[in-house]
Structure 1
């Protein structure tokens, strides 16, 4: 948001002559006082707004995207005055981003003396402020997709949005292709029906194919209705790989070995953000940094499991420049404008070029100055991945955005929200839903099935009154069946379904945040764990609270079952090409180049189009290693499928270990003909059986049942425990699988299990290419390429220094054997 907070230094403190026609005098004068000028893309957005066109702005971080998105609304509100209703909706993927944008947007409004009110509306907004916003709406309302859906579920929604002229979607790439994007699309379709002239605007720094996003943004998918505005190129980022000792570890993924060097970088810069990929790593890296923080510098931590108070406190401290370093997850990836951040460090591999660009853009948030960042790879495969990401960024490549049909559980939630706002006509709603791009190909039969589920739960559940949410309101008309269903929807609506969690509290009631229930269930009084940067001792569990006290004892790091970031296909392809071409190795660290040369000598390095499979004996077991580079989810699913085949073949599998790069399986008997196990029929036979028999489908069903409104997490004054929700969903799942296996939510759960939990698209591609491209190396001992995978076997649950030292000794023995 360059022209808002002043992070761009622009050479001409004047307004160009052509801009006088676009800008009211108060805006032009403000730019002159600030020493700024309109950039071409900001001018383009004003022109699009003046002609009523939808617009997609693709511009680099620091280019003033957010101001460009708001300028047409600010000008229109200044010229025409407010209507007493919401004029512009700003949609953010993060609550923190909405709060940050409000803070930065108020500055130019106040400096120009504009009579424009800007407020936020998220799940954190107090009830009294939400009530006031209904009776006295602001001109600009900053919100999230979930809060917008809830606002549309109220009877006065049509009145509240009767003056709506524009909707601005920030960081659209971050959520547009997922379920939150489905919900937002349905909300936009509803708003467009209320306000046909509503203008849509989307902003992003990292989209691979702008035309795809123009289609996503346009009502009905009409690309030509959306003007593409492209920002001027900014300074190239300066990104380095931090290797404090010049060598890369064999295993690990945290980058913990580089903590002293990271601490030195923090000391040498004004403010640093240290990004990690998971909440558990955030706690680990914060703890290690604090141990190395000899100067006592103020360091904070930020992730989604911390309490609102803790997150707000650290956000405000960052905005005020009172923190020297902040360890953060994806909770701070997007758009936050802290101009004093001058260094970003990524701990572990970035998993995608677009994600790395987004994160490094938090540093030197200026278009004309390079963002500076360092990446700390956790192991040798991660070094290759990091090198691939840097090459992709230099080549201007972005990770592909994967669009897919809209989810039926989200559609069911939306239909319930519509019914809560008043009676609806099913034909009109069907047409409205089809105008949302993810549902453009939805057939009437599927819509009617979804409507039937919302109406009475479906064939197997319709005998129960608790599932009868809709009642007839005339021919083809439906209404909500009673006030209790309205209350139930508003208490439970939402797309983000967290794993069952317990609240971490001190005895005095102070809340620190939440830990996942399965981790809490492993704790007994006296156990210690690290949370919110504090070592805590468990005192006990009471209802849904985990009671703790501070301690000086060493502590475990909580484990989280959140979704893993998968290595993108773009980076996977680059890594395959990189390891197959020795000419690429010239700039590699000596130990990485030596590792690859030894692999080529002792086994082989596959061509980019080949799948390498190695088999070898090791410590009384037989191993086979596959190197597909298709991401953890696909490899984990493949490991489950192959071990099932091995059981049936009498090979007596003992276990497997998946990483983003490889899959290791060990067994009592050797695998002599891997091609016979890895055939296409595995997807038709074992895959379906495995998903149905494992907890995968139940896990997916739990989520879709909550999103679809079949199961409530919250009752007035009471929240169900994760155990209660799981028990309820498992019970209904078993009933449906027995009596109605084609139920709408079973179908939705299958879609999730295929797409998200197992990454079936990449798994299918892997298996399809395995037959004709597999190369099998039968070895007498483990290969160098196998070492990083084998060294992480047994590392889960490490909690003592003695165990860690034993595992390091094991790693040294493996390395010596492989590289001898």
Structure 2
């Protein structure tokens, strides 16, 4: 035991429950009391949250502290609410004079105003709320007393633009409170030293201790063993619904994680279709209304639910109910993400967390096996933090002007203490400041973009008080597709899901959905949302009105958010499994047979090479390759390869990309072109495609305009919200497109054009990963000309030109198409 002692009231609280503080919890307390910051890495269920708050409880135990002492920052609103509940209980049981409050986007305006004037001792919030708080004048009155910041699930914060905004907020807090110390918590960190530097940067000169907690029960992870036929493609996992239902019945509470909101809606609807015993099964994802999500969370905490179908909204740190099993439906995409989700089951250090992986298709079986191996070895593949974006910095600069006038030298020095911006040059900072102040060279003639002015004393200040109001309405870095509220009404004269009378006012809000989806619907069309089958009745302002329906064939909305890329680490493991026939005994028999057929008909991809198959089918010719680098990288590769094939007169017609492979088809005989040397695969896959080919494609692509829209919103050039109203997605897109055209023509090196190119390369095109793949396979491309489709190519060919079939019809149609393709691959001749 360390020399650090707990106050008797806290010590007695542990004793009366038969507990004692764990070593890593006392280590955090001792480190804090010695004047240091900390990064604590500990397994899920190890009591990290208590470790983070223990120094605060010790310092606040006597009731003499006045003001805000500790700021807790979470990546999820739900996690902040959960931590408030779990922290308030021991405080109440000990009778400590400590106030704890959450502050999220769901907190009422009156309460938020009161919190600025009289904050609690401990406030639990999100990066966006921190940015909002420090943008108010006299923020020093609120944060001047601050002693500690607790960053929960740090790995989930630092890899996105939210993390960049948070880093800038921490630098401002360190200025307002020079004695500030930071405690960061995480269970899944691939490079601890890098994250320690990240939290040490704002409090320069202060020691930051790296604390590891080893031990805990190893998780129990397995893949569903099914007697059903594994699909060749698709992501619904409909084949496993019956088995999942039986598994749910055998457990207390099961969390069923999926990777997208559309998968959540499909799975939830599918489970209710077979829920003959009326088990309490709920749905939880980010598009549902706050009321609906809180209702589900409360039911979980009270142990009233048998299962919850959820997305990433519940995969970080939340400890609700008696969850004894986690099911990952679909491939997990990363071992660190899988470890996080596993930790939601048996959220106790000494009890093993149990998880079941349910692959949606045959390729996902390989990914699930790779994840099981990685988890069992304790391997992490969390992302590293990135250099900071210019659009995020522009937002922060405007926010600091809203707080108080500033000198450029002072703000620049402060920004350098944020890890993502530690290498920011003064020239670049001045360009960003000029953009915030005037809009840049091409826009400075327009008064609406004149947001800052420099006074005689050299300080920059906002040009009008309304600028601050607009800034606070539009703060944040999470840019989703334009959303509309979905309001449930009682349709008048309802007939076959279509209202024949006027739509009445009012009705319960079910949540929000992407605006574009409703542009594809006609009144009377049905779709699944919020776990119900709904009929679209019409639009009014920024709301979609719907009614309940009993249609048996509703559409499933496709959401643009929520997709995860396959990590490089898992991709390399998948390649290794395919290249190791001696390990195939671990796989389901039907997957092993599939790989064996591939070996007989063609060849298998090697771990360090690229297999390229070419074959005719019908009137077209196909090129299929297997990089296993994720959909984003494959889509970019497909775009660039088709451009090159056009120049080589190979007459490509199109391409389709999956997480694992890429197929290109056209009219030219690709096998013959390669055999005769008129088409060189080494030249086709040369890294120089990421130069001029990429630039020329970007110049023509609508992708740049979509990316620019997001950067312009974050940077404050385009505002989504105005007092009393909100712009529609169409209005935002039109404004962004007009500004992009002006800048691209008159100022192509504008700071936002640069930010757009950077974002497109990193987030939407995965250029870095594609470049690494092209380097890896240089001179290691294996070409296999075939007379017909190969077994391995069956899944990707199923994705070509597939019809938008929904429900069970889609499953049977894909199964039928897969059988036909496999018969082709095996040379079966039908009469």
Shorter-normalised TM-score: what interval? over 0.9
**Distance across 1 between alignment mates of 2:585 and 2:723:** 64
Contact 2:300–2:321, Cα closer than 8 Å, also in 1:
no
Tell me the alpha carbon deviations over residues 683-707 of structure 1, each in whole angstroms, 9 at most, x when there is no partner. 1122111122111111111111000
Tell me the alpha carbon deviations over residues 291-340 of structure 1, each in whole angstroms, 9 at most, x when there is no partner. 11110011111111111111111111111111111100011110001141
The change in CA–CA distance for 1:421 and 1:223 in structure 2 (over 3 A counts) is closer
Contact 1:536–1:550, Cα closer than 8 Å, also in 2:
yes
**Distance across 1 between alignment mates of 2:37 and 2:803:** 50
Match for residue 522 of structure 2? 524
Deviation at residue 224 of structure 1 after TM alignment:
8.1
Deviation at residue 548 of structure 1 after TM alignment:
0.6
Farther off after superposition, 574-583 or 241-250? 241-250
**Distance across 2 between alignment mates of 1:797 and 1:685:** 36
Contact 1:405–1:438, Cα closer than 8 Å, also in 2:
yes
Match for residue 394 of structure 2? 412
The change in CA–CA distance for 1:75 and 1:776 in structure 2 (over 3 A counts) is same
Contact 1:251–1:791, Cα closer than 8 Å, also in 2:
yes
1:90 partner SS: strand
Match for residue 367 of structure 1? 349
Equivalent of 1:724 in 731, 738, 757: 731
Tell me the alpha carbon deviations over residues 775-798 of structure 1, each in whole angstroms, 9 at most, x when there is no partner. 110011111111121123334622
2:28 partner SS: helix
Contact 1:211–1:223, Cα closer than 8 Å, also in 2:
no
1:322 aligns with 2:304: yes
Match for residue 689 of structure 1? 696
Deviation at residue 498 of structure 1 after TM alignment:
1.1
The change in CA–CA distance for 1:438 and 1:124 in structure 2 (over 3 A counts) is same
Farther off after superposition, 42-51 or 641-650? 641-650
Match for residue 511 of structure 1? 509
1:63 partner SS: coil
**Distance across 2 between alignment mates of 1:800 and 1:107:** 45
Tell me the alpha carbon deviations over residues 558-591 of structure 1, each in whole angstroms, 9 at most, x when there is no partner. 0111252111011011111111111111222222
Match for residue 605 of structure 1? 604
1:300 partner SS: strand
Equivalent of 1:179 in 136, 146, 161: 161
Tell me the alpha carbon deviations over residues 44-98 of structure 1, each in whole angstroms, 9 at most, x when there is no partner. 0110121121000100110000000000011011146221x21100000000000
**Distance across 2 between alignment mates of 1:111 and 1:800:** 51
Match for residue 815 of structure 1? 822
Match for residue 587 of structure 1? 586
Match for residue 654 of structure 2? 655
Deviation at residue 415 of structure 1 after TM alignment:
0.5
Deviation at residue 506 of structure 1 after TM alignment:
2.0
Contact 1:702–1:729, Cα closer than 8 Å, also in 2:
yes
**Distance across 1 between alignment mates of 2:611 and 2:295:** 50
Match for residue 28 of structure 2? 45
Tell me the alpha carbon deviations over residues 434-461 of structure 1, each in whole angstroms, 9 at most, x when there is no partner. 0111101000000000000111100000
**Distance across 1 between alignment mates of 2:803 and 2:422:** 44
2:391 partner SS: helix
**Distance across 1 between alignment mates of 2:348 and 2:808:** 44
1:25 aligns with 2:32: no
1:637 aligns with 2:636: yes
Farther off after superposition, 787-796 or 277-286? 787-796
1:793 aligns with 2:800: yes
Equivalent of 2:551 in 537, 543, 553: 553
Farther off after superposition, 372-381 or 577-586? 577-586
The change in CA–CA distance for 1:803 and 1:47 in structure 2 (over 3 A counts) is closer
Equivalent of 1:778 in 782, 785, 790: 785
**Distance across 2 between alignment mates of 1:107 and 1:607:** 55
Contact 1:167–1:201, Cα closer than 8 Å, also in 2:
yes
1:153 aligns with 2:135: yes
Farther off after superposition, 704-713 or 687-696? 687-696
Deviation at residue 618 of structure 1 after TM alignment:
1.4
1:422 aligns with 2:396: no
Tell me the alpha carbon deviations over residues 352-383 of structure 1, each in whole angstroms, 9 at most, x when there is no partner. 00000100110010100000110001111111
Match for residue 759 of structure 1? 766
Tell me the alpha carbon deviations over residues 98-142 of structure 1, each in whole angstroms, 9 at most, x when there is no partner. 000000000110011000000011111100101111222100000
Superposition map of 1:455-474 within 5 A: 455-474=437-456
The change in CA–CA distance for 1:565 and 1:308 in structure 2 (over 3 A counts) is same
Contact 1:90–1:142, Cα closer than 8 Å, also in 2:
yes
Match for residue 535 of structure 2? 537
1:123 aligns with 2:122: no
Farther off after superposition, 313-322 or 678-687? 678-687
Match for residue 703 of structure 1? 710
Match for residue 113 of structure 1? 95
**Distance across 2 between alignment mates of 1:197 and 1:710:** 36
Superposition map of 1:328-339 within 5 A: 328-339=310-321
The change in CA–CA distance for 1:308 and 1:192 in structure 2 (over 3 A counts) is same
Deviation at residue 223 of structure 1 after TM alignment:
9.8
Contact 2:63–2:97, Cα closer than 8 Å, also in 1:
no
**Distance across 2 between alignment mates of 1:310 and 1:139:** 30
Across the aligned residues of Structure 1 and Structure 2, the Cα RMSD in angstroms comes to 1.5
**Distance across 1 between alignment mates of 2:460 and 2:255:** 51
2:625 partner SS: strand
The change in CA–CA distance for 1:198 and 1:353 in structure 2 (over 3 A counts) is same
**Structure 2 length normalisation: TM-score?**
0.95
Superposition map of 1:560-579 within 5 A: 560-562=559-561, 564-579=563-578
Unmatched 5+ stretches in structure 1: 1-15
**Distance across 1 between alignment mates of 2:105 and 2:735:** 25
Contact 1:349–1:382, Cα closer than 8 Å, also in 2:
yes
Tell me the alpha carbon deviations over residues 621-653 of structure 1, each in whole angstroms, 9 at most, x when there is no partner. 111101001110000111111122222333222
Equivalent of 1:737 in 734, 737, 744: 744
The change in CA–CA distance for 1:171 and 1:101 in structure 2 (over 3 A counts) is same
Contact 1:248–1:383, Cα closer than 8 Å, also in 2:
no
2:39 partner SS: strand
Equivalent of 2:209 in 227, 233, 238: 227
1:678 aligns with 2:685: yes
**Distance across 1 between alignment mates of 2:417 and 2:97:** 36
Match for residue 6 of structure 1? none
Contact 1:179–1:406, Cα closer than 8 Å, also in 2:
yes
1:342 partner SS: strand
Match for residue 48 of structure 2? 65
The change in CA–CA distance for 1:251 and 1:694 in structure 2 (over 3 A counts) is same
Contact 1:621–1:666, Cα closer than 8 Å, also in 2:
yes
The change in CA–CA distance for 1:349 and 1:536 in structure 2 (over 3 A counts) is same
Tell me the alpha carbon deviations over residues 738-767 of structure 1, each in whole angstroms, 9 at most, x when there is no partner. 101111111111110000000011111222
Match for residue 78 of structure 1? 61
**Distance across 1 between alignment mates of 2:483 and 2:241:** 30
Contact 2:336–2:382, Cα closer than 8 Å, also in 1:
no
**Distance across 1 between alignment mates of 2:809 and 2:760:** 39
**Distance across 1 between alignment mates of 2:526 and 2:382:** 42
2:778 partner SS: helix
**Distance across 2 between alignment mates of 1:186 and 1:157:** 15
The change in CA–CA distance for 1:326 and 1:491 in structure 2 (over 3 A counts) is same
The change in CA–CA distance for 1:795 and 1:268 in structure 2 (over 3 A counts) is farther
**Structure 1 length normalisation: TM-score?**
0.96
2:61 partner SS: helix
**Distance across 2 between alignment mates of 1:537 and 1:610:** 50
Tell me the alpha carbon deviations over residues 420-442 of structure 1, each in whole angstroms, 9 at most, x when there is no partner. 01111110100000011110100
Contact 1:247–1:589, Cα closer than 8 Å, also in 2:
no
Tell me the alpha carbon deviations over residues 371-410 of structure 1, each in whole angstroms, 9 at most, x when there is no partner. 0110001111111111011111111110042232101101
The change in CA–CA distance for 1:425 and 1:362 in structure 2 (over 3 A counts) is same
Farther off after superposition, 204-213 or 691-700? 691-700
Superposition map of 1:273-312 within 5 A: 273-312=255-294
Superposition map of 1:261-272 within 5 A: 261-272=243-254
